[in-house]
Amino acid sequence: MSVSAPRRPVTAPDVRARKGGERLVCLTAYTAPVARIVDRHCDIVLVGDSVAMVVHGLDTTLSATLDMMILHGTAVRRGLDRALMVVDLPFGSYEESPEQAFRSAARVMAETGAGAVKLEGGAAMAETIAFLSGRGIPVMAHIGLTPQAVNALGGYKVQGRGGAAAQIKADATAVAQAGAFSVVLEKVAESLAREITAELAIPTIGIGASAACDGQVLVVDDMLGLFTEFRPKFVKRYAELGETADEAVAAYAEEVRRGTFPADEHVFGGEPKAVAGGSAA
């Protein structure tokens, strides 16, 4: 009789060890039911600060708060058995000093049960990454297009083109040397992603950075067609759940207006019904 191996939870060192091996699969999640689905198929679940935009309807990720991340992280954790949960440190909760970052990250780890945090920034964040990593908090770095810096970057543009490539490469080297266990590379050209992935000893997780990376991440609401405000070129829609939901809500509204919902099968009778085992429903 063959016994299947237990599904051991994925850890940050497991992710680090996958460098150059089987590709890493990551999606965001913000709620327990979606986390349950993502957990069945992915290695990493990211509670991204994109929650501010796709769930809370805010214009940018800058308005995400630590309490918001902890609330969604706690919900997502309840839906997970196996995947590594990484929670974003939101804008303003870590940039001031390594100590501020530690206080924020420690709250996230203790209150949500996350296995790691993610923070944006390259060389400028190296000291903070080393501070957290050296104190028991695994850090996923995020370089290239860093949405929390959208105002400084002048929009959601491709990063590292031409002469700017050197800075992104320096950022990649800095976060890896500081102890990050992996790094998200967002919206950079394929050639740059390939070079960085070949040079780094830690896995690169691409979003808009080509299949040259060691893994991929997408915002779950984007790939399911639930968030449709805008659609970056790098998003592939694997479903159109927004359209499906719109049709379902329209059908419900129509039936309520016509008086055909609720129908007989949705209505309770005045007398309890006998069921097997003797109790009544």
Catalytic residues: 186
Smallest distance from ligand KIV to CB 208, Å: 9
Return the residues of window 222-281 that contact ligand KIV according to CB under 6 A: none
| Closer Cβ to ligand KIV, 106 or 223, answer by number | 223
| Closer Cβ to ligand KIV, 146 or 200, answer by number | 146
Residue from the set 43, 49, 171, 214 that interacts with ligand KIV by CB under 6 A: 49
Smallest distance from ligand KIV to CB 184, Å: 5
Interaction between residue 50 and ligand KIV (CB under 6 A) = yes
String marking each residue 77-96 x if it binds ligand KIV according to CB under 6 A: -----------x--------
Return the residues of window 94-123 that contact ligand KIV according to CB under 6 A: none
Residue from the set 176, 183, 217, 226 that interacts with ligand KIV by CB under 6 A: 217
DSSP letters spanning the chain: ---PPP-PPP-HHHHHHTTTSSPEEEEE--SHHHHHHHHHH-SEEEE-TTHHHHTT--SSGGG--HHHHHHHHHHHHHT-SSSEEEEEPPTTSSSS-HHHHHHHHHHHHHHH--SEEEEEBSGGGHHHHHHHHTTT--EEEEEES-GGGHHHHTSS--BS-GGGHHHHHHHHHHHHHHT-SEEEEESB-HHHHHHHHHH-SS-EEEESS-TTSSEEEE-HHHHTT---S---TT---S--HHHHHHHHHHHHHHHHHHT-SS-GGG---SSPPB-TTS-B-
Interaction between residue 129 and ligand KIV (CB under 6 A) = no
Smallest distance from ligand KIV to CB 51, Å: 7
| Closer Cβ to ligand KIV, 42 or 184, answer by number | 184
String marking each residue 142-181 x if it binds ligand KIV according to CB under 6 A: x---------------------------------------
Interaction between residue 219 and ligand KIV (CB under 6 A) = yes
* CA 207 – CA 200 distance, rounded (Å): 17
Interface contacts to ligand KIV, rule CB under 6 A? 28, 46, 48-50, 88, 142, 184, 207, 217, 219
